[in-house]
Amino acid sequence: MTTFYFLRHGETVWNKEGKLQGWLDSPLTTTGCAQVQATVQDVTQPLAAVYASTSGRAIQTAHYFQQPVHLDERLREIYLGKWQGQSIAALQQNDEYLTYCHDPTRYIAQHTESFHELTTRVYEACTAIAARHPHAYVAVVTHGVALRCLLARITQQPLLTWWHNEIQGGQGYTVEWQQQRIREGIQ
């Protein structure tokens, strides 16, 4: 059984400024670095590998594990098209964005990646990683929406079950892959 430590990247400059990132990037803040350091210290098992999204913020976070980082673009955040880099406040008048935020089950992707596409690629990446590292502990650094979609898929719960669950910067989940069991926090 593969045990995953799934970790959201630490707080970034754009998180702090209230901007959407998607596939765009901004560096970790001092707070973000502290969040990640605190979570990484909770890892007690030796890691067989560390994987990260190809986004700079995920790579920066993954380096706190102090071992080689394997990059996998399938672990990237949802692609948000023209919303990327925009302030969340400016998008509050956009009905499509409001549906995305408040009722993702009704959201139909027009210029963005769909939740189904995101869930499929992240789940496939993790399945491949588990196959490469059976009976091992593996850290995976990804993103907030990607992690919510993945946790919903693993637990076979509707996305809404996880959607309004705020995943803080640097927050982690321990997942026993074959049993599909999830524990909040890194243990």
**CATH classification at residue 34:** 3.40.50.1240
Inter-CA distances, 20 with 56, 96, 118, 187, Å:
15, 15, 16, 30
pLDDT score of 183? 62
Q: Residues forming the annotated binding site for substrate? A: 8-15, 57
Q: What is the CA radius of gyration of the chain?
A: 16
Known catalytic residue: 184?
no
Known catalytic residue: 77?
yes
Domain count, the chain: 1
pLDDT of 181 > 70? The answer is no
Non-local CB neighbours of 17 within 8 Å, separated by 6+ positions:
87
Domain limits at 27?
Answer: 3-184
Find the catalytic residue in 9, 113, 133, 143.
9
pLDDT score of 136? 97
pLDDT digits (tens, 9 = 90+) for 55-83: 999 999 999 999 999 999 999 999 999 99
Q: What is the DSSP string of 6-59?
A: EEEPPPBHHHHHTB--TTS---B-HHHHHHHHHHHHT--SPPSEEEE-SSHHHH
pLDDT of 179 > 70? The answer is no
